[in-house]
Chains A and B, each alone.
Chain A
């Protein structure tokens, strides 16, 4: 799309787009291409020799039980994070949109965790859920009667990183739900109220369906978030442990590539991740188009 009225110049538009192009070529296209090439090569850790091995790295990857486990872990983790943070965000937003008088104050009190780095959220929850010092850990042991030790038990560690990652994301979802609810025409709600629909009924039959585009958008964003930005949480809290039980895909790329210096495998993993996120992004754009029709 372009403006009907535009400027003509033989050099200026190129000059203006040049910085963006240079920087994307250098730090985006060139590395992406290199990664793709490297994923078809096998090289020794010092990068002295490398030979072309076709799909060897990919075959190795998808027959490696550790990698398959990492895929499973990543999907479980992102599903849990998305579910917890979306529903808590929705719940709080519903309450906040009812509390008309205190809306500004409530928003201020709920918005700031967005600005907290995932890694810092990780540190705080590590303390809260620490088997020997954590107050929440103590509560779990005392009231739920569960033997709780995220340092040794993989499932507990998973719960711990989910809490840390989801906590930070609640405020993000809250902002979108609140905005979504405010965009719903008042007349619709009032009409339903006159027809005798209770507040709960109104929520389920009007608000909830009208929020479905927001829902979809937030699911995509939360999944992308838990796929990539939670690296900091994993690195500060569990380092992929115990026994690889929290080794999500992004962390595995880092571990295999930078710590293990297995360049071929790490590149192949990057390519798989890239494909995944392109798929997710594509899905989102398909949806955004639909949504434009939806709101008319």
Chain B
């Protein structure tokens, strides 16, 4: 600091403590609640001394909420979105930045337009598409009279209905959320800052575009990829509306949605200890990812601003 301000320093630390307490309180309180038996957790105010029922409550939550399966679904969904987004965006940005071709501007504009428009604003039609991805092709199919052609060839009446549903499947949970341009935009920004000489040198050495991508561009992007892994994993894991729509089978539900069933309703036993224990458990994977990869996460967040 510039000058000595002991009073202000004390003030600073006290208020920091208060701030950390405000931020940490809900989770601390939930953790304590998760260790208490039912009759203690429903006392008002709830005592702040942890009990010994943690594992009992956890077991309850685990079996009743089918948490193991749901957390696995969430992790698969989050990883799928992360890998899908990064892979697609990276090669897409490579194409836009490092090639000169006629539709480059159009391609970039069409990807760019999707920037930041979340799935929440087009839920119904996206749901319809997911229910039958091949639906849009049906008019084309009918128009070409392929049915007639098939009937003529086979000698039977053939009617083909194109149908490929993504409901209640991992593809359905993942694919529609991979369609976003934020990552493409980010990689584009990054590629533009990579020195021209690297590409020149690679070309002089006779490297093909893909060799350049694999041997030079990819290793250079590692930090960016790490940052995006954290951000997109958290984004995917915490999705709510889309999995709520697309899954009806409880086996395919994600953990964040499954928690809803554990919240005590008006006429139930107030088993908040079980509900909050489950909540803490479900939030663990993304929180751990953020804590362990903090450095990249912060870098990625700040860069996402640009």
A24, A120, A270, A288: the one within 8 Å of B283 (CB): A120
Alpha-carbon separation in the docked complex, A288 to B301 (Å): 16
Instruction: Assess the A17–B12 pair: CB atoms within 8 A.
Output: no
Which of A1-9, A52-60, A62-70 lies at the interface with chain B?
A: A1-9
Residues of B within 8 A of A231 (CB): 120, 240-241
Instruction: Assess the B203–A16 pair: CB atoms within 8 A.
Output: no
Alpha-carbon separation in the docked complex, A89 to B181 (Å): 28
Residues of B within 8 A of A14 (CB): 95, 101, 103
Alpha-carbon separation in the docked complex, A138 to B1 (Å): 41
Q: Which of B194-228 contact A (CB under 8 A)?
A: 196, 199-200, 203, 209-210, 212
Instruction: Assess the B19–A92 pair: CB atoms within 8 A.
Output: yes
If A123-B275, A235-B240 touch, whether A27 touches B126 (CB-CB below 8 Å) is: yes
Q: Which of B1-50 contact A (CB under 8 A)?
A: 1-3, 5, 8-9, 12-13, 15-16, 19-20, 22-24, 26-27, 29-30, 33, 41-42, 44-46
The yes or no answer to A135 lying at the interface (CB within 8 A) is yes
The yes or no answer to B257 lying at the interface (CB within 8 A) is yes
A interface footprint on B239-250 (CB within 8 Å = 1, 0 otherwise): 011001100000
Residues of A within 8 A of B237 (CB): 117
Q: Which of A23-55 contact B (CB under 8 A)?
A: 23-24, 26-35, 38
Alpha-carbon separation in the docked complex, A270 to B122 (Å): 6
Which of B51-59, B151-159, B289-297 lies at the interface with chain A?
A: B289-297
Instruction: Assess the A115–B294 pair: CB atoms within 8 A.
Output: no
If A9-B209, A13-B95, A28-B117 touch, whether A115 touches B286 (CB-CB below 8 Å) is: yes
Residues of B within 8 A of A120 (CB): 256, 259, 279, 282-283
In the complex, residue of chain B having the shortest beta-carbon distance to the beta carbon of A151: B266
Alpha-carbon separation in the docked complex, A270 to B125 (Å): 10
Instruction: Assess the A32–B301 pair: CB atoms within 8 A.
Output: no
Give the Cβ gap from A100 to chain B, nearest Cβ, in Å.
7
B199, B245, B270: the one within 8 Å of A5 (CB): B199
The yes or no answer to B121 lying at the interface (CB within 8 A) is yes
Residues of A within 8 A of B83 (CB): none
Instruction: Assess the A132–B44 pair: CB atoms within 8 A.
Output: yes
The yes or no answer to A254 lying at the interface (CB within 8 A) is yes
In the complex, residue of chain B having the shortest beta-carbon distance to the beta carbon of A237: B263
Instruction: Assess the B126–A31 pair: CB atoms within 8 A.
Output: yes
Alpha-carbon separation in the docked complex, A91 to B12 (Å): 10
Give the Cβ gap from B208 to chain A, nearest Cβ, in Å.
8
If A30-B136, A98-B12, A175-B302 touch, whether A123 touches B276 (CB-CB below 8 Å) is: yes
Instruction: Assess the B291–A167 pair: CB atoms within 8 A.
Output: no
B16, B92, B99, B287: the one within 8 Å of A7 (CB): B99
Give the Cβ gap from A210 to chain B, nearest Cβ, in Å.
15
Alpha-carbon separation in the docked complex, A54 to B210 (Å): 51
How many chain A residues sit at the interface, stated as a range, is 35 or more
Residues of A within 8 A of B192 (CB): 1, 3
Instruction: Assess the A110–B23 pair: CB atoms within 8 A.
Output: yes
Instruction: Assess the A99–B92 pair: CB atoms within 8 A.
Output: no
B111, B184, B289: the one within 8 Å of A115 (CB): B289
Most chain B beta-carbon contacts within 10 A, residue among A14, A96, A123: A123
Alpha-carbon separation in the docked complex, A190 to B2 (Å): 6
Alpha-carbon separation in the docked complex, A83 to B244 (Å): 29
Residues of B within 8 A of A154 (CB): none
Give the Cβ gap from B246 to chain A, nearest Cβ, in Å.
11
Instruction: Assess the B125–A111 pair: CB atoms within 8 A.
Output: no
Q: Which of A148-186 contact B (CB under 8 A)?
A: 167, 170-172, 175-176, 179
Give the Cβ gap from B187 to chain A, nearest Cβ, in Å.
11
Give the Cβ gap from A77 to chain B, nearest Cβ, in Å.
15
Q: Which of B89-145 contact A (CB under 8 A)?
A: 89, 91-92, 94-101, 103-104, 107, 110-111, 114-118, 120-130, 133, 136
Query: 8 extra interchain contacts, Cβ-Cβ under 8 A, other than A7-B99, A21-B107, A111-B294?
Result: A5-B200, A16-B92, A16-B94, A17-B92, A107-B298, A108-B294, A250-B121, A277-B118
Q: Which residues of B line the A interface, CB within 8 A?
A: 1-3, 5, 8-9, 12-13, 15-16, 19-20, 22-24, 26-27, 29-30, 33, 41-42, 44-46, 87-89, 91-92, 94-101, 103-104, 107, 110-111, 114-118, 120-130, 133, 136, 175-176, 178-179, 181, 184, 191-192, 196, 199-200, 203, 209-210, 212, 234, 237-238, 240-241, 244-245, 256-257, 259-260, 263, 270, 272, 275-276, 279, 282-283, 286-287, 289-291, 294, 297-298, 301-302, 305-306
Selected A-B contacts with CB under 8 Å, 28 pairs? A1-B192, A3-B98, A3-B191, A3-B199, A5-B196, A5-B199, A6-B100, A7-B199, A30-B136, A96-B16, A100-B1, A112-B291, A115-B286, A116-B286, A117-B283, A119-B238, A119-B260, A120-B256, A123-B279, A127-B29, A127-B33, A134-B44, A199-B5, A228-B118, A228-B120, A250-B121, A267-B124, A281-B115
A-B CB proximity, top 8 nearest? A232-B240, A31-B125, A16-B95, A13-B99, A117-B238, A34-B125, A20-B92, A115-B286
